[in-house]
Amino acid sequence: MKLSGQRWSHKGAETMLQLWVTAMNGLWHKVMDICKKTHLGMPA
């Protein structure tokens, strides 16, 4: 996720933690659905 010596901003660390919790809760498919809709220009 990051290289040795790199530091997270507070907002960046919070975002990564939210994504990690989402993945651990088995809801990653919802994140991917939103990403696909956003990439295709469709509303989420």
Contact predicate 19/32, CB 8 Å: no
- Check residue 40 and give its pLDDT: 72
Task: Give 1-44 pLDDT, tens digit per residue.
Answer: 666 677 888 998 898 899 899 899 999 898 888 888 887 766 54
Q: How far is CA 32 from CA 8, 24, 27, 38, in A?
A: 23, 14, 9, 10
**Sequence spans of domains, the chain:** 12-39
Q: Smallest Cα–Cα separation from 8: which of 19, 30, 27?
A: 19
